[in-house]
């Protein structure tokens, strides 16, 4: 596999997972009744959008075709989050599912960094974005724990 294809393969997985998160955060921001949480979800959706844009530019710069859709797993998580939110505490339901999507993205970033097939240019961009990914993950993890403690 040539470098362009390796970059395309490595980064498109991350693009799809980040797009899943962006879509889910955007939807949750519109459905949750808590204004502060809605604002947080909107802000994190923006971070995910930036990740998609930056990684897509890297794939295109390498001559590849950036992913244009999310993943089936992301769609299932989103549907599950919607059902869970409809049946119970919308704040906890969305936060729990969004935190799971953060776990997925962080794991994918870590896998890309440790994969010896990831080209240096792709690894550098993933490394540059990792602090934002970690920050979003930690915010949602902490929010989930706080909501669990309040129940």
* 38-65: pLDDT as tens digits: 999 999 999 999 999 999 999 999 898 9
The Cβ-side half-sphere exposure at 55, using a 13 Å CA radius, reads 32
CA 57 to chain centre: 17
Q: What's this model's pTM, rounded to 2 decimal places? A: 0.87
25 contact partners, CB below 8 Å, separation of at least 6? 41, 42, 44, 45, 48, 98
- Characterize 14-33 residue by residue with b for buried, 16 or more Cβ atoms within 10 angstroms of its Cβ, and e for exposed: bbbbbbbbbbbbbbbbebbe
Domains of the chain: residue spans and CATH: 3-149 (1.20.1260.10)
Query: pLDDT tens across 65-115, in order?
Result: 999 877 665 555 566 556 555 555 677 888 888 898 899 999 999 999 999
Closest-CA residue to 74 (of 100, 49, 55): 100
């Amino acid at each position: 596999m040539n470098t362009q294809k390796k970059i395309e393969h490595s980064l498109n997985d991350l693009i799809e997972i980040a797009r899943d998160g962006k879509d889910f955060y955007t939807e949750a921001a519109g459905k949750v009744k808590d204004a502060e949480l809605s604002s947080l979800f909107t802000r994190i959706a923006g971070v995910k959008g930036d990740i998609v844009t930056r990684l897509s530019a890297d794939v295109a710069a390498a001559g590849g075709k950036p992913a244009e859709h999310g993943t089936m797993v992301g769609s299932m998580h989103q549907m599950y989050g919607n059902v869970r939110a409809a049946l119970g505490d919308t704040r906890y339901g969305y936060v729990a599912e969004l935190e799971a999507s953060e776990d997925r993205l962080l794991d994918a970033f870590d896998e890309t960094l440790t994969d010896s097939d990831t080209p240096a240019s792709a690894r550098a961009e993933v490394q540059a974005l990792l602090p934002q990914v970690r920050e979003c993950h930690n915010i949602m993890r902490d929010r989930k724990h706080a909501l669990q403690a309040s129940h």
